[in-house]
Amino acid sequence: MSVKPHLKSLKPYPPGKTIEEIKKELSISGKIYKMNSNENPLGPSPKVLNVLRDSLSQINYYPEASYKELKSALAKKWDVLPEQIILGNGSNEIIDLLFKALVDSHEEIIISKPSFLMYEKFAQIYGVKIKTIPLTKKLTHNFNKILKSITKKTKIIFLDHPHNPSGSVLNRESWEEFLEKIPPHVLIVIDEAYGDFIEDPSIPLGIEFLKKGYKVLILRTFSKAFGLAGLRLGYGITFLELSKVLDLVRQPFNINILAYKAGLAVLEDKEYIEKSINLVKEGRKYLTDELKNLGFKVYPSQANFIMVDFGEKVEFLYEQLLKRGFLLRPLKAYGFPKALRISIGLPEENEAFIKNLKDILNVLS
């Protein structure tokens, strides 16, 4: 068997450890605080659970292939045509479809360094050249350097907004100036996996630019604010020319029937969505204030996580908190060896985290 040469150096995506893995590794019998994977701490919507129970008897059937109801519901939410929506098994699948449909091996993509690791992974899988542009000192996308890096071979620029793992964002004026200078052969992908948690009104959503006629694709997910990470449901919103092409390369029945039904149910649960978003905004402020008061650098975030520089104490604090059941995300793989990413939890989980961190720091001092 001969493997494609460019795949030999490919490394798997490093997922956050699960509760079961940590309990087994560290022999922890108490509560586990899962603050490492940016999931919804509320659990799924009650409406979703009811729909899933009612739908279990249908799993011997294929889902309706066009996903018309879900596309229509999303189109109504964003005031676009249903045909502008492309559904995926997680938003990751939309990224995969883009490479299948648009990028040849002799062409290139541009990403920030660091950013969501899957942009790079897919480029490596398809043997596509990757140009990486370092973030600015404020850990935002460096639009000026990205523009200077565009060539005739550039096909897609991937921009996570809010950025992962820093949580940073850029204002409307910066986006407008950037998009106006993008040549017509380049697609801008605005990944808004954490877009629901933006509260600054000066920060735009990609839908604004799509409606103004810019060649953009917006990535969205049901994994965060909508609490469906385990069902893998995401979508893209884009212009008709592109959405039709992506639909052609999409596999039939790529969304399973339970994810489809759950997506419809959670979109109707406005109370749950509002509660999820408010919980993050309040918890984000609480953790930011508390950690700053303890002397740590907390990077401004508009996502459902915060990035914290713990300095030389980072490995010790990480290990000690892990032993106490707190799962956090080390950021060495992202180029920040002294930082941890902390997902916003329930109020009692956030408070328990701060209490345990204080206890550890008191022992140190």
Bond into 165 cis (ω within 30): yes
pLDDT at 203: 97
Instruction: Write the pLDDT tens digit of every residue in 314-327.
Output: 999 999 999 999 99
Same domain for 55 and 195, yes or no, is yes
Looking at the chain, the whole-number percentage of residues with pLDDT higher than 90 is: 89
Domain span holding position 282: 16-43+271-364
Is the same domain home to 236 and 316? Answer: no
Q: Smallest Cα–Cα separation from 358: which of 281, 285, 295, 283? A: 295
- pLDDT given at position 11: 75
* Residue 301 is assigned to a structural domain of this protein: yes
Residues 186-214: what's their mean pLDDT? 97
152 and 229: one domain? yes
* pLDDT for position 16: 62
Domain check: are 305 and 278 in the same one? yes
Question: Model confidence at 24, in pLDDT bands (50, 70, 90)?
Answer: confident
Answer yes or no: is 4 within a domain.
no
Tell me whether residue 355 is in a domain: yes
Rounded Cα distance, 259 and 52, in Å: 9
CA 149 to chain centre: 25
pLDDT at 123: 94
Instruction: Give the pTM.
Output: 0.94
Buried b (16+ CB within 10 A) or exposed e, 173-183: ebbeebbeebe
Residue 33 pLDDT exceeds 90: yes
| 216 in the same domain as 95 | yes
In a domain, 2, yes or no: no
Shared domain check, 153 and 98: yes
- Among 268, 296, 313, the domain-final residue is 268
Look up residue 97 and give its two tokens: 């479809």
Q: Which of 43-47, 63-67, 77-81, 289-293 has the lowest mean pLDDT?
A: 63-67
Select the more confidently predicted residue: 333 or 317.
317
Residue finishing a domain among 268, 303, 329: 268
Tell me whether residue 235 is in a domain. Answer: yes
User: What tens digit of pLDDT does each residue of 251-285 get?
Assistant: 999 999 999 999 999 999 999 999 999 999 999 99
> Is residue 306 domain-shared with residue 192, that is, in the same domain?
no
Same structural domain for residues 217 and 306?
no
Half-sphere exposure of 159 (CA within 13 A, CB side): 26
Q: Is the pLDDT of residue 76 over 90?
A: yes
Q: Say if residue 347 is preceded by a cis peptide, omega within 30 of 0.
A: no
- 173 in the same domain as 65: yes
Over residues 123-146, the mean pLDDT reads 96
pLDDT over 90 (residue 160): yes
Same domain, 136 and 187: yes
Exposed/middle/buried for residue 85 (C-beta within 10 Å: 0-12, 13-18, 19+): buried
CB 142 within 8 A of CB 150: no
Give the pLDDT mean for 56-64: 93
Q: Is residue 66 part of a domain?
A: yes
pLDDT in tens, 342-356: 999 999 999 999 999
- State the pLDDT at residue 8: 66
Q: At what angle do helices 314-323 and 347-364 cross, to 10 degrees?
A: 120
Residues 6+ apart with CB under 8 A from 47: 265, 266, 268, 269, 272
What percent of the chain lies above the pLDDT cut of 70? 99
Q: At residue 99, does pLDDT exceed 90? A: yes
Q: Domain containing 38 — which CATH number?
A: 3.90.1150.10
Domain limit, last residue, from 268, 298, 316: 268
Is the pLDDT assigned to residue 337 strictly greater than 70?
A: yes
Let me know whether 94 and 240 are in one domain. Answer: yes
Q: What is the CATH number for 211?
A: 3.40.640.10
What's the structural domain count of the chain? 2
Residues 282, 253 share a domain: no
Cis peptide before 114 (omega within 30 of 0): yes
Residue 22 clears pLDDT 70, i.e. is over it: yes
pLDDT score at 70: 98
Classify residue 8: in a domain, yes or no: no
